[in-house]
Structure 1
Amino acid sequence: MRLSAFTTCASALAIAGAMIAVPAIAQDAAATPADAAASDGSLDQIVVTASGRDKTQLNSSVSVSSISAETIQSLKPSSEAEVFRMIPGIQVAGTSGPGGNSNIAVRGLPVATGGSPFVQIQEDGLPTVLFGDIQFGNNDYWTHFDATVANVEGVRGGSASTFASQAPGAVINYISQTGKTEGGFIGVSKGVNYDETKVDFRYGGPINDTTYFHVGGYFKNGRGPLHAGYTVSDSIQVKGNLTKEFDGGKGYFRLLFKVADTKEPNYTGAPAYAQINGKNVTDIRPFDGFDGRKQSNYSAFNQDFLIYNRDGNLERVAMDGITTKATSFGGQFHYEFDGGITVDNNMRYTKMKGGFASPFLNVGSTASVLGSTVNGATVADIRYASGAKAGQSYISPYIDNNVNVRTNIRDIGSFANDLTLAAKHDLGTAKVTARGGLFYMNQKIAMDWHVNKSLRALEGDNPSQLDLFDAEGNKLTQAGISGYNNNWGNCCARDYSLSYADTAPYLSLDIDHDAFDIDGSVRFDSVKASGYAIGGGAEFPIDSNGVTIPAITSNGTREDLNYTRKYTSWSVGALWKASSTTSLFVRASRGGRFNADRQTLGGKIRNDGQLCTSADIGSNGCTADGVTPSVDIVKQYELGVKSKGDLLGGRFTVELTLLKGNFKQSTYELSATKCPGGAGGCVIDAKYKSTGAELFATYRNGGFSLVGNATYSKAKKQGAGATSFQRADGIPDLIYSVSANYDVNKIATVGLAVTGQTNAIDSNGYQYPGKAIFNPSLRVYPIDNLELGVQVYNVFNTFDLRGNGGIANLGSNPAVISGAPALGRTVSASVRYNF
C-alpha cells in the first residue's frame, strides 16, 4: 500500500473513531455489567476463532463478528450462503440452494472458478475440509447450520492467515452449544405454500458439578420451495458433546461427535427475459413457462439417469443433488498451568463421502440443434422422451442443452489436530504472551466424474428429456443423453484418489498494554501431495438399449503425485485503546493458500510426481509451470475502529474497517462457462485487487434490536495478457443485510430481515441490477415456553437475479438471458417448545 493512500485512510478513520468515541466515553460511567452481556456484536465476547483466544472483540486488532443462533434462526436462512451473508466482508449470491456449491468471495477478492478458495469453514475450531474449492466438493456441502450452534464467528483477513491454514481471506467458525446451562427446545417448521417439513431439536445440561453435555440436530424432508417433481430434500444431522472440567475449573476435556446423512438440491439457474441496452441489462422478469423463483429443472422425468461408470458398465443413478454422509468424532483439551502456561489441543477424525448429481442449465436455441450433426447423423426432429407429450415433436424456440452430471465422492475424509502452547508474562505495565502451535491435517479427495451430454425441455414444471432423430426416424440419443462422460471432451471423465497432508507450525507474540496492543504472527505451511489422477481417453461407442452412444472413460493421461510445497504466511497488527469503549487498529498480512486438486491433469505434474518448473516445460510430461500457481498469495491491509456505548436510551456497537487487498491466481476450470471459446477444461490466469470497507453494527433499546452489516468494495481483475485492470465479474459494489426485531410485551416478536446488493457484471461485462429482498416474521407466545411463528421469505416476490448468468439471445425482444434468481415468496409456519 502506498504511504499516501494509507495516510488518507488513517486520517478518515481517526476522525470517524473520534466521532464515535465521544458519545461512548460520555456514557461509559452509566454502563453496568448487565449491559455488557454477550450478544450479537457486544464486543465483550472473547474471540475464539483464528486468534489467541484471550481477548475480547473490542481489544482484538482483527476484523471479527459474531452472529448469535437466535439472530440466524429469526432470518430462517434457506442455505448456508444466507448465513454467510450476515457476516461483513463475505460476498455470496445465496441462490445455489440448501445443498451448497456457492461461490464465496471475501472483501472483493473474487472467485476465479468456483467454491471458496480463500474462506475456510470450521466447526468448533477445525476445518470441515482443508480446501474450500475442492472440485465438486466445496466446503459449504459439509457444514449445515442447526440447533446445536450457539453462534457463528467470522474473522476476516489478519490472523486468519496465521492461525489457520488455507484461509487468507476469512475463517467462518460454527461454535457449538456445550450444555453448561441447562435448556433446549424442539421445533417443527412446515412450508405453507411449498412441500417441506423440518424438525429442529437440542437439549443440554449438567450431569454433575463438573460434567455437562449437549446434543441436537435436525430432520428435513420435502420437495422444496422450487416445487421439484420429487422429494429432493431428505436429511438428518445429529451433533453432540460431553465436557468434563477438572482441577477446580483450570482444565477441561470435551468429546464431540457428528453424524450426518443429507440430500439437498443444488439450484443451477433459470431462463429470464430482459431489456439490454449496450452492456446494461434491465427489466429482468420471468421466462414464459419457467419462473426461477418457484420452479427448477429437478423433474420427475429426470430423477434418475444412466452413467458409464468406472467399472465399464452403464449404471442408473439418482438425480439427488448434493449428498453427504459423515461420521466424525473429536476431542478438545484445555489446561491452565501455574505460571501463566496454557495448553490447548483440538482433534477430529472424519469419515466422509458424498455425491454431486445435478441437471445443469443452459439456454440454447432449438434451431441450433436442428440440422446439426449428432453422433454421425443430421438431426431432423426433436421429441419429448417422457411425460404426457412423449413422442411428440418439441417446437419451442429455446432448449436446455446443459449436462446431467454425476460425481461420486468416494472419500473426502480427514484427520486434523491443532496443538497450541501459550505463555504469559507480566512485563511492567504490559502483559507479554508468546504462543507456539502445530497444526496437522490429512485431507483425502477420491472422486470419479460423469458428465453426460444432455438435452431437456426448457420448462420449469417437470421438464422432459428430449431425444433426437434423423430424417429416417433413427434415434440418435437415449433418454435425452447424447454422450456419456464427454460433454466437455476428455478433460472431464476423471478418476482420482489424492491425499494432501498439511503440517503447519505457527508462532505469535503479543504485547498487551493498558493503552495499546501490538502483535505479530507467522505460519509455515508444508503440504505433502500424494495419490493419482487419471484423465479421460478417446471416445468409443457403446450400446445403450439399442442406440449407439459415444462415451469416454478415465483411461487417458495418468499423474502420480509425489511432491511437497512449502510457503510462509505472516500478520502484524497494532491496536490503540482510545477508551474503555473504543479502539482503533491497523493490520497488514500476507497469507497463502495451496492449490490442491485443481493442479492435477493440467500438465503441471512431472513424470516423477514433482511439480513442473518453468524449465521443465516441453519435457518430463510438463506443459505448464506447476510451482508458481500451486500457492496463491493474498496481501491485505486493514484500518479499523470498534466502539460501543449508549445512544438514545439504548446500547450500540459499531465496527468499521477500511481494507485493501490483492492476489494472483492460476487455477483449472472444468466447465465451458468461463473458458475462452467455450472449451471445457482450461487454466485461468489472472490478477485481482480490491479496496473497500466493511461495517457491522448493532443497536438494542428495550424490546427493539437491530443487527446489520455492509461490505463495499471496488474489485478489479487483470486477465492473462491484459495490460490494465477491469471491474471483476460477480462482485457487487455493495452487499448488505439487516435484521430488526421488536418484542411486544413478551407476547409477540415482530421481525424484518433485509438482504440486498447493488449491480454486478458477468464475465462478458454485462451489468445486472441489484435489488433487496424483504423477509418479515411474526412469533407469538401464547403460554410460557411455547412459540408459534410465521416466516415469509421475499414477501414482495421480487425477481432478483443474484447469480449472474449469460445472454442466450441478444437479438430477440425481449432478450433471453439466464441466471440464478433468489427464491420467490415462500411462507412457512413453525411451532417451538422451549424447556
Structure 2
Amino acid sequence: MQKISYRHLMAGAAFSALFIAVPAFAQTADTSAPAADEIEEIVVVGTAGAGTRRQDASFAVTTLSSDAITRAAPNSTADLLRTVPGVMAESSGGQNGANIFVRGYPSGGDAQFVTFQMAGTPIFAPPTLSFLENSQLIRLDETVERVEAVRGGTGSLFSAGQPGLTVNVVPRTGGATLKGFAKLSYTDFDEIRGDAWISGPLDDSTGFMVGGYYAQGNGIRDPRYRAEKGGQITANIHHDFDGRGSVEVYARYLNDRGQWLLPIPVVSDSNGKVRAYPGFDHGTGTLNGPDTQITTNVVGRTLNLSEGRGAKVINTGIAFDYELVDGLRFRERTSYLGGNADTLGLVPVEAPTSAATMATRLGGAGSTLASLSYVNGGTAVAGGADAQVMRAGIWEVRKKISSFVTDSSLEWTAGNNKLTGGFYYTGFSSRDVWALGNQVLLAAEPNARLLNMTLTNGAGAQQTATLNGFSSGPAFQVRGFYQGSDYAFYAVDELQITPELRIDGGVRWQRHVIDATLSTSANGGTVNLDGDPNTLYDNSVTRLGENRFINYKDSAWSWTAGANYDFSREIGVFARYSRGNSFPQFDNLREASAVNIADGTGLAAVAKVDTYEAGLKLSTRFANLYATVFHNKFDGLATTTLINNVPVSSNGGAKATGVELEGVIRPFAGFSIAAAGTWLDASYRDFFTGNGAIDNTGNQVQRQPKWAWRVTPAYEVEIGGLKPAIFATLQYTGDRFSDPENNQVLPHFYQLDAGISVDINERVKLAVTGNNLTDELGLTEGNPRIIGGQGTGAILARPILGRSFRFSAAVSF
C-alpha cells in the first residue's frame, strides 16, 4: 500500500507541475520563435480540406508522431489510444478484440463510437459489428507517419459522420531523397518481428513508399502453440501537381491473427481486493492450451483455435486534391476494403467451482458425481468431487466483409470566407456464420485440460454429461447476409471575421439503408440429437429457423457551430456545439426484427448525441497545453449482449460531463514531461437492460472511470557520437464498473512502462521497452456474459497483460 501511495504522490506531483509550469513558461518564454514542429503541427482529421494547424483547430484533437507512437510502445492498434484523453481503450483482449469507449458514450463493448481512417478515408463503414471493430482491420507499423484523433466536435459532419472518435492513420510518403528503414525486435515471451520500409522519388514530382512488418510468436499468454502470426504490407505513390494539388494512390494488405484473450479466474476478497487465482498467473495465464486447440464438437464440427481472431483483408484507395481555378478546389477520397475477419475463441462462462457443484448444474437437483476423468489419457482427476472445474464455450464467428467509400467535395475560397460542400457514399456488406455455445468442461488451471464427467441423477439413472469434453452443442447460431449503404450531403462554411476571430458552421443529412436475409436459432428451437435423455451433452442443440428479412431505412440531420479566437499565434480558445447521430447496424436490427420493433424505437432507433465543448490551446517553445471541457447528452442508445447465449437488449439515454487535459513542458534541451488526464462524470438516464427489466438510471456508465491520467517524462542527451534517451510512463485508471447495473466493480490500478534507446551514428538505433514493469493486476473486464455481481472468491475477469520486454535494433539510411 505504501508503494502505491508513493507512486500516486510522485505522479500527481509531476502532473500538477506540468499545468503549473505551463503559464509560467507562457509569461517568461520568448514566444516569437516557437518550436516549428509544435506550432506547425498539421491535422487533417475533422477538417473539410487539406488540414489545419492543430493550434488553429476549433475542436479537440490529439496528434501522435511516429516517435510518440514508439515511446507509447502500444501492444496493439487500440492500445495506442490510451494516450488520447477522453478515451478508455482496453487492449487486454490481445491484438484484436479491443473495447474502446469515448467521453462517456455508453456501449457494452467493442468500439461502437470509433471510426478508423486510412489516409483520410474510413477503412470500414460500420464502426462496430458484433465480433468486429475497426482497429481489428489495421495495424500500426513503421510505415505510419502519424496518427490523428478527433473527439466530438466536427466529427459528426465529415467522413462517416462519427460523433464519437475518428482516428486517422497517416502513412509515410516518398520524397526527393531515397530513404529506408529496417528493424528487428524480439520479446522475452519469444515473439520475433521485422519491420521495414523504403521511400524515394520516381521523378521530380512523384514519390513512392512501400513497407510493412511480419511477426510470429505464442503471445504473452502462452497457449503452448503458435497463436500469433501474420503481417501487413503497405505501398503508395504520391504525385504533386506543381503546387496546385496532389494525388495519392495506396494499397494495404493485412493478414494477421492472434489469440482472443478473454476473462480468466481471479480471486475477489470481501474487501474488494483482487488477487491471482491459485496456480494461475494473472499476467501470463490463459485457459487455451494444446487440449483445446483442435476439437470436434457434438455436431461434428472441427475447429482449430490457433486461427484466433484477426483479419485477412486488402484495402486500396485514392486521395485526390486539385485547384481547378483560383479559389476553387476539388477533392476526392475513395477506398475499398474486402476480405475476412474471423473470430475463434475459448469463452469462459462461469468461475471455477467444485466437480460436485458442476454435476448438479449439468444434471439438475439431486445429481451426484459418478466419475471425472481427463479426455486425453482417461485417467481420473485427483480430488474427485472436490476438484475445481469450469466451463467455457468454443465459439466460431466467420465474417466475409466488404466496404466501398467515396467522399467528394468542392471548396470555394473568397476573401475571408471558405465554403465547402460535399457528397459521401458507402456501400458495405457482411456475410456471417456463427456457432456460439459449444461448452466444454475444463480443469480450472492454465492451459486447461478437457474433462469427461458422468453422474447419477436424482432418480438413480446413470447419465453421461460430456462427449470428448463437450457438455453442450451450439446454443446460438446465425446465418446472415447483410448489405448496407449510407449516403450523405454536407456543407460547411468558415468565416474569418477578424485576424483573431473565426467562426464556422455546417450541416449534414445522411440516409441509412440496411437489407438482410438471415436465420437464427432464436426461432429454430432445439433438438435432442440422439434421442437419449441420458446423454446430456446433446439434449438441447439449437437449429436454425426459417429465413427472415430486414428492410430498414432512416435518415437524420447533424449540425455544428463553433468559434475560435486567437489571442496570439501561440494562445487561443474555442467553443462548439454539435449534434451527431449513430445509426443502428446489422446486429441491432437483427434483434430488433426478431421482436418486431423495427419501427424507429428500441434497438432500431437512431442514437442522438448533443455535445457542448470549449477549449484552451497554448503552444510555445517551452510548453504546449490543450484543455477541453465538454458536456454530452445521449438519447436512443441501443446495444445487445449475449447472456447465457441469448441476445439481451439494452437501450435508453445517458449524460456526461468531463475535462480533458494534455500537454508537454520542455524546461531545458533534451528533457520533456508529457501528460494527459481525464475527469469524467457519466451516468445513465432512462437506460434499461435485461430486455427492459432493469432500470439503470443514475448508475455510472460502464467501463469508464471518473479519473484517468498518464505522465511521461523523457530525457535525451548527446554523448560523443551516441544519443541515448530514456522515457517512462505511469498511468492511472480509476475505479469503474464492468456492467451497467454497477454490480461488478473493477478496482483502480497503476501501470508503469519504460524504455531506453541509443542512437548510434544517426544510422543505427538500439532500444528496449518494458510494459507493466510492476506486473500490476489491473482488471479491464468482469464477466460480461451474466447480469449481476459475481460475489467473492473465484470470479472471472480480464486483467491487463503482465510484465514484458521488447528488444529491438534498427538501421536507417
TM-score if structure 1 supplies the norm length? 0.87
| Pairing 1:223-262 to 2, within 5 Å after superposition | 223-246=218-241, 248-262=242-256
Counterpart in the other structure of 2:10: none
CA shift for structure 1 position 217: 1.1
CA shift for structure 1 position 25: 6.6
In structure 2, the residue corresponding to 1:346 is in which secondary structure?
strand
Counterpart in the other structure of 1:44: 40
Counterpart in the other structure of 1:363: 351
Is 1:644 matched with 2:619? yes
Asked if the contact 1:43/1:58 (under 8 Å) is kept, the reply is: yes
**Structure 1 residues 782 and 381: alpha-carbon distance in aligned structure 2, compared to 1, 3 A threshold:** farther
Is 1:435 matched with 2:420? yes
Q: Letter of the 1:581 partner, please give it.
A: E
Could you list the per-position Cα deviations for residues 364-417 of structure 1 after superposition, in whole angstroms to 9, with x for gaps in the alignment? Answer: 4234312344499956246344457754366555433231111111x2111111
The count of corresponding residues between Structure 1 and Structure 2 is 769
CA shift for structure 1 position 355: 0.9
Asked if the contact 2:373/2:381 (under 8 Å) is kept, the reply is: yes
**Structure 1 unmatched runs, 5+:** 1-15, 487-491, 615-624, 673-677
Is 1:320 matched with 2:287? no
Which residue, 703, 710, 722 being the options, matches 1:730?
703
Which residue, 656, 664, 684 being the options, matches 1:698?
664
Counterpart in the other structure of 1:483: 472
Aligned mates of 1:664, 1:306 — CA distance in 2: 45
CA shift for structure 1 position 641: 0.4
Is 1:496 matched with 2:472? no
Aligned mates of 1:381, 1:217 — CA distance in 2: 56
- Which 10-residue stretch deviates more, 45-54 or 146-155? 45-54
**Structure 1 residues 681 and 448: alpha-carbon distance in aligned structure 2, compared to 1, 3 A threshold:** same
Counterpart in the other structure of 1:622: none
- Which 10-residue stretch deviates more, 688-697 or 822-831? 822-831
Is 1:506 matched with 2:500? no
**Structure 1 residues 138 and 460: alpha-carbon distance in aligned structure 2, compared to 1, 3 A threshold:** farther
Could you list the per-position Cα deviations for residues 267-325 of structure 1 after superposition, in whole angstroms to 9, with x for gaps in the alignment? Answer: 10222123224xxx22x21110112201111211111223578xxx6344444220211
Asked if the contact 2:744/2:782 (under 8 Å) is kept, the reply is: no
Could you list the per-position Cα deviations for residues 694-748 of structure 1 after superposition, in whole angstroms to 9, with x for gaps in the alignment? Answer: 1111233411233321111011113336484222221111122333321131431
Q: Letter of the 1:55 partner, please give it.
A: T
Which residue, 201, 207, 210 being the options, matches 1:212?
207
Counterpart in the other structure of 1:617: none
| Pairing 1:566-715 to 2, within 5 Å after superposition | 566-604=555-593, 612-613=598-599, 625=601, 629-646=604-621, 651-672=622-643, 680-700=646-666, 701-715=668-682
Could you list the per-position Cα deviations for residues 84-134 of structure 1 after superposition, in whole angstroms to 9, with x for gaps in the alignment? Answer: 1111111123311112x22211112232x2211111111111222222220
Could you list the per-position Cα deviations for residues 780-811 of structure 1 after superposition, in whole angstroms to 9, with x for gaps in the alignment? Answer: 23444111222211111111223344899999
**Structure 1 residues 109 and 667: alpha-carbon distance in aligned structure 2, compared to 1, 3 A threshold:** closer
Counterpart in the other structure of 2:736: 760
**Structure 1 residues 596 and 352: alpha-carbon distance in aligned structure 2, compared to 1, 3 A threshold:** same
**Structure 1 residues 473 and 356: alpha-carbon distance in aligned structure 2, compared to 1, 3 A threshold:** same
Could you list the per-position Cα deviations for residues 458-511 of structure 1 after superposition, in whole angstroms to 9, with x for gaps in the alignment? Answer: 54432112222134775332232222221xxxxx21111001101111110001
CA shift for structure 1 position 175: 0.9
Which residue, 168, 171, 185 being the options, matches 1:173?
168
Asked if the contact 1:160/1:168 (under 8 Å) is kept, the reply is: yes
Aligned mates of 2:240, 2:662 — CA distance in 1: 35
CA shift for structure 1 position 632: 0.7
**Structure 1 residues 668 and 652: alpha-carbon distance in aligned structure 2, compared to 1, 3 A threshold:** closer
| Pairing 1:525-544 to 2, within 5 Å after superposition | 525-536=510-521, 537-542=524-529
Which residue, 133, 141, 145 being the options, matches 2:136?
141
Which residue, 270, 291, 296 being the options, matches 1:276?
270
Asked if the contact 1:115/1:132 (under 8 Å) is kept, the reply is: no
**Structure 1 residues 601 and 350: alpha-carbon distance in aligned structure 2, compared to 1, 3 A threshold:** closer
Aligned mates of 1:19, 1:71 — CA distance in 2: 22
Is 1:298 matched with 2:285? no
Aligned mates of 2:28, 2:232 — CA distance in 1: 48
Could you list the per-position Cα deviations for residues 312-359 of structure 1 after superposition, in whole angstroms to 9, with x for gaps in the alignment? Answer: x63444442202110122111110233211111111111121210111
**Structure 1 residues 287 and 364: alpha-carbon distance in aligned structure 2, compared to 1, 3 A threshold:** closer
- Which 10-residue stretch deviates more, 583-592 or 443-452? 443-452
CA shift for structure 1 position 832: 1.0
Aligned mates of 1:142, 1:126 — CA distance in 2: 13
Asked if the contact 2:268/2:275 (under 8 Å) is kept, the reply is: yes
TM-score if structure 2 supplies the norm length? 0.89
Asked if the contact 2:297/2:438 (under 8 Å) is kept, the reply is: no
Aligned mates of 1:668, 1:724 — CA distance in 2: 16
**Structure 1 residues 709 and 723: alpha-carbon distance in aligned structure 2, compared to 1, 3 A threshold:** closer
After superposition, the CA RMSD in angstroms is: 2.9
Q: Letter of the 1:654 partner, please give it.
A: L
| Pairing 1:408-419 to 2, within 5 Å after superposition | 408-409=398-399, 411-419=400-408
Asked if the contact 1:768/1:804 (under 8 Å) is kept, the reply is: yes
Aligned mates of 1:123, 1:725 — CA distance in 2: 38
Could you list the per-position Cα deviations for residues 26-75 of structure 1 after superposition, in whole angstroms to 9, with x for gaps in the alignment? Answer: 6455415xx212xxxx2522220121234211111110110112111223
**Sequence identity of aligned pairs in percent?**
22
Aligned mates of 2:758, 2:21 — CA distance in 1: 40
Is 1:772 matched with 2:750? yes
**Structure 1 residues 386 and 348: alpha-carbon distance in aligned structure 2, compared to 1, 3 A threshold:** same
